[in-house]
Chains A and B, each alone.
Chain A
Amino acid sequence: MAHKLSIFRGLITFKSNVQKIWGVLIFLSIVTAIEVALGIIKPAFLLTPVFGMKGLNWIFIVLTIVKAYYIAWDFMHLRDEKRSFTSSIVLPLLILIPYLIFILLVEADYIYNIMFDGFVSWNF
């Protein structure tokens, strides 16, 4: 079975599949270490809201998606599959999940405002 041995758009090419696995492990470990370090330090300048959420939280979410990409592409071998197969797996998720996130979080924010502005006290 032929493996594609390049990651980061060809920036790093490994000699064998086993080497690629260790390379991806190192990359995932670095990303996790960055997340943990940011989670412990919580730099003050990243705590200001950007698009309704703390800047730090956006960084966490982006890093999580980066990790998910490398797990799916290299550990689950999606990089080696036919493009049509990859798309039939990834596209439904890419379409449905952001949609679900969008409708539910907008609704939750709306409910928060209703409870906040309403005349009923929730804190008693």
Chain B
Amino acid sequence: MQATTNIVENENVWDGGNKPLNASYGKMMMWFFIVSDALTFSGFLVAYGFSRFKNIDSWPIADEVFYHFPFLHGVNAPMYYVALMTFILIFSSVTMVLAVDAGHKMQKNKVAVYMLLTILGGAVFVGSQAWEWKNFIKGEYGAVETKGGQILQFVSADSGERVALSYFATTQPTDRSQHSAYNGLWYVDEATLLTYTVAEVQQGFLANPDLRIKTEMIDAGTGHKIVLDRAASEAKLSQAVNVVEGANLIRNEYGNRLFADFFFFITGFHGFHVFSGVVINGIIFFNVLLGTYERRGHYEMVEKVGLYWHFVDLVWVFVFTFFYLV
């Protein structure tokens, strides 16, 4: 009476534990996670490309944004720092492969040492990125914003180099103070007040005849941002409505608002991947020390986290190209 289904099982294919594509279940799933994560990052980077192509004649130039190098304050050194970060990450990728290789040979101590080096490299990279963010958020020169959301920067007429607001802005007496819960409405927050008001910047600009305005627009011929002459600069500055110092998610002193948003989001998402990679590598590192994989008889877990770690490196290669080079 019982309905029985007669399933002819081929133990070799369906019984679990075997490897149709010569890769274990865990490794294969790590790969397919990487595929989906790669598509996520592609989505972000292509969205960045979309915004950039949409504003192709006014997008910020990377060399004018990222030019800091540790201990070289005031020196214009574009590319060098981010190149260093790239080398650190590629190198930590190499120690990871060496750990995987030592794992195949069941050399526990070597695996541990290489894992530790990988973790160190990752930690240094995350720290470097934090420093990069700090410079980006703090800004150095300051700028003003027009009603239409265009950023106007200040440059010296002779050298063409940027001039900081603190160099020329005047100080006018003001009774405007920071709004906080105890002296105003308790349910209203106010962002920290900026150092200068628009009027102070305008007055200081008029008093310094060697200053010019650098606009967002790129000269198609030279590839540089267009600098206005003195009369046009004064006319343009009279339209300013905001002072911008550094960068946040709403406005930034480097140019297009979307630029900072994408910078924070993409490098932040990548940095979060590196951070979680460091944490996962740390867990595996302690398991190696405890001899978990020695007892298990193979070091495949090291290989799986290695895949994730290399993927993080792979993504950085693309972020590096599209944010700093192109």
Contact = CB atoms under 8 A, between A and B. Distances in A.
Interface residues of B, number: 62
B78 interface: yes
A115 to B, nearest CB: 8
Contacts of A35: 321, 325
A101 B98 contact: no
Given A97-B39, A108-B50, A85 B94 contact: no
B35 A89 contact: yes
A71 B46 contact: no
B70 interface: no
B53 A108 contact: yes
Given A68-B314, A81-B23, A100 B35 contact: no
A117 interface: no
A109 B159 CA distance: 34
Contacts of B326: 57, 60-61
Interface string A12-51: 0000011001100100110010011001100000010000
A47 B218 CA distance: 14
A105 B55 CA distance: 12
A81 B320 CA distance: 28
B104 A40 contact: no
A104 B47 contact: yes
A69 to B, nearest CB: 10
Given A60-B326, A67-B317, A124-B146, A93 B35 contact: yes
B148 interface: yes
Interface size range on A against B? 35 or more
A25 to B, nearest CB: 5
B171 interface: no
Contact of A71 (B87, B93, B146): B93
Interface in B288-311: 303, 306-307, 310-311
A40 B78 contact: yes
Residue among B215, B310, B313, B317 with most chain A CB within 10 A: B317
A21 B310 CA distance: 13
Contacts of B104: 1
Contacts of B324: 39
B183 interface: no
B133 interface: no
B22 A75 contact: no
B43 interface: yes
Contacts of B93: 71, 75
Residue among B43, B50, B94 with most chain A CB within 10 A: B50
Given A64-B317, A92-B35, A109 B23 contact: no
Given A60-B326, A68-B317, A71-B93, A108 B51 contact: yes
7 contacts: A25-B90, A57-B325, A72-B310, A93-B35, A97-B38, A104-B50, A109-B53
Interface of A: 1, 17-18, 21-22, 25, 28-29, 32, 35-36, 39-40, 47, 57, 60-61, 64, 67-68, 71-72, 74-77, 81-82, 84-85, 88-89, 92-93, 96-97, 100-101, 104-105, 107-109, 111-112, 115-116, 121-124
Give the 5 A-B CB pairs with smallest separation, nearest first.
A108-B53, A124-B148, A85-B21, A64-B321, A36-B83
Given A88-B21, A108-B54, 14 more contacts: A32-B86, A40-B78, A67-B317, A75-B310, A82-B22, A89-B31, A92-B35, A93-B38, A93-B39, A105-B53, A108-B50, A109-B53, A109-B56, A124-B239
